[in-house]
Amino acid sequence: MNWKILLGLVICYFIYLIVGGIIFMIVEGNYDAQKCEETTHTIENIIFEVDMNKSAIPITSLLDLTQKIASASPIRRMLKEISNAEKYGFIFDFTTMTSTCVNNWHFEASVFFAGTVVTTIGYGHLYPKSHLGRAICIIYALIGIPLFTIMFTGLGGKIAGLVLKLETRINGKATRTWVSKVLLITVISLMYAVLCLLIPSILFVSFEPWSYEDALYYSFISITTIGFGDIVAGTDPSTKYIPIYRIMVYFWILFGMAFMATVMSLISNFFKETGKKGKKRIQNRRNVVPKQKDEVDGEEFETEAALDDGNRTKEDENNLYIKECS
Amino acid sequence: MNWKILLGLVICYFIYLIVGGIIFMIVEGNYDAQKCEETTHTIENIIFEVDMNKSAIPITSLLDLTQEISNAEKYGFIFDFTTMTSTCVNNWHFEASVFFAGTVVTTIGYGHLYPKSHLGRAICIIYALIGIPLFTIMFTGLGGKIAGLVLKLETRINGKATRTWVSKVLLITVISLMYAVLCLLIPSILFVSFEPWSYEDALYYSFISITTIGFGDIVAGTDPSTKYIPIYRIMVYFWILFGMAFMATVMSLISNFFKETGKKGKKRIQNRRNVVPKQKDEVDGEEFETEAALDDGNRTKEDENNLYIKECS
């Protein structure tokens, strides 16, 4: 996969997110607004039942009502309604006894939601509730997840190729010893932790009302795509976020997952080489030395010295190409 | 990867889930119970402030009350307004904790349960660092075996050693349909009988889980008014494992065929020397006993290598 195709895929990915954001913003935004409106009427009806001239809700009246009506007392009904309607953006102010409907599906939030789908992080702070929205979500995922996976594994493969080239230039020797492989994996994993977890967490602390531990925890849970949703970037109601912040978060997720794919690719590549069958395969392999600077599976290898050692053939280069597997 | 290693990994996986469940049950269960206890005292203080002789709740106190209740719900705090008493429910019972451990290592991460204590979060991170690779190696290995079986079966049915473009597309389509039926349509029918869901809910839940998106708006085994039999939860675990393995199978076949039919793939196949294993050797864990399939000159050790699904994320 050459850099042009990769860039094209990255651009496609961001366009796909924006298109998805617009679709969900319209479909789910309307659905939630409608549901919130319904709840507003329901709550108004309940309040109407209660004698609001007194600035308090009498418990005896509640108990009377529970004896007369099978359903719950007005207060309990009201609280239940409020609780159920929170996901539609319904907010009730007990001091003024009035409600508002907040639009959770504004553009940035909808695009971010689309991102949680295609990355499979799936925080769940926002999710489709309408039948139409769910159906669209499924189709959106069926297209978007493979698109995203091909892109980030392709990116991860390029990074792995660069890492190996750099290591060969530094190391000099064409053959890698067991020790140097472990060292390489360790160094790359530490770089990964620093670049994708430790440093972004510092940035999160400045943009979000989080402690550094919160930010680290959030970074880890997101990059692994576990995505509990207990903490989500860009969702604090009392914080003003600049647009560039959200864009940085997208790139961080993309880069973090690509880098994770790089680490996994290197580990599995070395694991295969050092395994019993791998050693046997290397012994049995004929020398294949590309005579020209050919593109092998999209990875251009310009250092012919690295290829001359007899231990690395086209198959090794193929192994660097990370295959999309799930 | 032979079947013995795979079975060993599956057993390891379930042991790992159980151990994780026990750890989280203790750590997070205690933390939540402690937090719920604190809220109980806070609520009692608020109620005590209210002049109960007037038998009415001032609105401002109601506001405090509802806010405390809302904040403490995640700790298992439940308040009954009729009796004005509270209870603390343990969300981290054994089955729920094991299920939580499952949401971590599969990366589904529903979020219906999540660690709130510092210790619990630290343990969760370490648990994920070990468990996610363990689970991924296992389900991709399983997916690779299934892919190998599928290709062997297809070769026997098809007869011809070379696969045409049409037969590849047909194979992918058939396998994808089987995947949809086995992992989405049929399990959804079972979900409808075990859960208070509609069939559409069940389908939606199945898809969101198997893709590991896992919003958490719907989660199996969490309906408070349903009694679940133990075998049900075990079935859910196997379904998730099988569903993800089968997804890996489909992806492996697609990427395998994609590589073969791509421009470079065709060039590679042309340039390849014939390598025919003379004995029934185990190539990367995939035992290929049908030598006819290997004789066509178009499939070499590299093609067999491609069937071995490399763990990539």
- Separation of alpha carbons B298 and B268, rounded Å: 10
- Separation of alpha carbons A185 and A191, rounded Å: 10
Q: DSSP readout, A175-188?
A: SPPHHHHHHHHHHH
Residue carrying the six token digits 């159920």: A84
- Separation of alpha carbons A146 and B274, rounded Å: 33
Going through chain B in order, the beta strands assigned E by DSSP cover: 56-58, 77-80, 85-88, 282-283, 286-287
pLDDT greater than 70 at residue A326? no
What percent of chain B is predicted at pLDDT more than 70? 75
Counting beta carbons within 10 angstroms of the beta carbon of residue B238, is it exposed (0 to 12), middle (13 to 18) or buried (19 or more)? exposed
Q: Which of B109, B125, B313 comes nearest A122 by C-beta?
A: B109
Token digits for B215? 């919003």
> How does pLDDT run across B226-264, given as a tens digit for each residue?
888 888 888 898 899 889 889 888 877 877 776 666 555
- Binary contact (A315, B309; C-beta < 8 A): no
Residue A298 — very low, low, confident or very high, per pLDDT cuts 50/70/90? very low
> How does pLDDT run across A214-261, given as a tens digit for each residue?
999 999 999 989 999 999 998 888 888 888 888 889 889 988 988 988
- Binary contact (B59, A60; C-beta < 8 A): no
- Binary contact (A323, B302; C-beta < 8 A): no
Residue B303 — very low, low, confident or very high, per pLDDT cuts 50/70/90? very low
Say what the pLDDT of residue A40 is: 82
Mean of per-residue pLDDT scores for chain B? 77
Higher local confidence (pLDDT), A183 or B55: A183
* Shortest distance, CA B24 to any CA of chain A (angstroms): 15
* Shortest distance, CA A169 to any CA of chain B (angstroms): 25
pLDDT greater than 50 at residue A305? no
Nearest chain B alpha carbon to A146: B251
Chain A CB contacts of B118 under 8 Å are 213
Say what the pLDDT of residue A276 is: 55
ipTM over the 0.90 cut-off: no
> How does pLDDT run across A158-183, given as a tens digit for each residue?
888 888 888 888 777 666 778 888 88
Chain B CB contacts of A261 under 8 Å are 312-313
Say what the pLDDT of residue B190 is: 92
pLDDT greater than 50 at residue A143? yes
pLDDT greater than 80 at residue A30? yes
> How does pLDDT run across A33-90, given as a tens digit for each residue?
888 888 888 877 776 665 444 444 444 444 443 343 333 466 667 777 888 888 888 8
* Shortest distance, CA A277 to any CA of chain B (angstroms): 7
Say what the pLDDT of residue B301 is: 43
Q: Which of B62, B248, B302 comes nearest A326 by C-beta?
A: B248
- Separation of alpha carbons B110 and B215, rounded Å: 6
Nearest chain A alpha carbon to B245: A326
Say what the pLDDT of residue B266 is: 60
pTM listed for this prediction = 0.75
Chain A contact probe: residue of B204, B215, B305 with most A CBs at under 10 A: B215
Say what the pLDDT of residue B223 is: 86
Residue B59 — very low, low, confident or very high, per pLDDT cuts 50/70/90? low
How many other β-carbons are positioned within 10 Å of the β-carbon of residue A262? 27
Average pLDDT, integer, range B152-161: 76
- Separation of alpha carbons B239 and B247, rounded Å: 12
- Separation of alpha carbons A145 and A148, rounded Å: 5
* Shortest distance, CA A289 to any CA of chain B (angstroms): 13
Say what the pLDDT of residue B110 is: 92
Residue carrying the six token digits 């609520």: B43
A232 φ, ψ (degrees, to nearest 5): -140, 135
| Through-space distance between the first and last CA atoms of chain A, rounded to whole angstroms | 18
Q: Which of B63, B118, B264 comes nearest A94 by C-beta?
A: B63
Residue A200 — very low, low, confident or very high, per pLDDT cuts 50/70/90? very high
- Separation of alpha carbons A25 and A31, rounded Å: 10
* Shortest distance, CA B312 to any CA of chain A (angstroms): 5
Nearest chain B alpha carbon to A317: B302
A58 φ, ψ (degrees, to nearest 5): -65, 135
- Separation of alpha carbons A41 and B308, rounded Å: 59
Least confident of B78-87, B160-169, B268-277: B268-277
Token digits for B26? 């203790």
Mean of per-residue pLDDT scores for chain A? 75
Nearest chain B alpha carbon to A139: B207
pLDDT greater than 70 at residue A11? yes
Residue carrying the six token digits 């619990």: B120
Residue B171's identity, in one-letter code, is L
Residue A108 — very low, low, confident or very high, per pLDDT cuts 50/70/90? confident
Smallest CA-to-CA distance from B207 within A140, A218, A318 is with: A140
- Binary contact (A225, B244; C-beta < 8 A): no
Say what the pLDDT of residue B259 is: 66
Say what the pLDDT of residue B295 is: 34
Residues making up chain B, counted from first to last: 313
pLDDT greater than 90 at residue B198? yes
Q: Which of B121, B251, B301 comes nearest A325 by C-beta?
A: B251
**Contact pairs from chain A to chain B, CB under 8 Å:** 189
pLDDT greater than 50 at residue B273? no
Say what the pLDDT of residue B172 is: 85
Residue A110's identity, in one-letter code, is S
pLDDT greater than 80 at residue B310? no
- Binary contact (B251, A326; C-beta < 8 A): yes
Say what the pLDDT of residue A199 is: 94
Residue A325 — very low, low, confident or very high, per pLDDT cuts 50/70/90? very low
Say what the pLDDT of residue A185 is: 85
Say what the pLDDT of residue A214 is: 92
- Report chain A's C-alpha Rg in angstroms: 28
Residue B109 — very low, low, confident or very high, per pLDDT cuts 50/70/90? very high
Contacts of residues A312-319 at CB distance under 8 Å and 24 or more positions apart, as own/partner, are: A312/A174, A313/A285, A313/A286, A313/A287, A313/A288, A314/A288, A314/A290, A314/B268, A315/A281, A315/A285, A315/B302, A315/B305, A316/A269, A316/A273, A318/B302, A318/B305, A319/A269, A319/A272, A319/B305, A319/B310
Buried b (16+ CB within 10 A) or exposed e, A203-236: ebbebbebeeebbbbbbbbbbbbbbbbbbbbebe
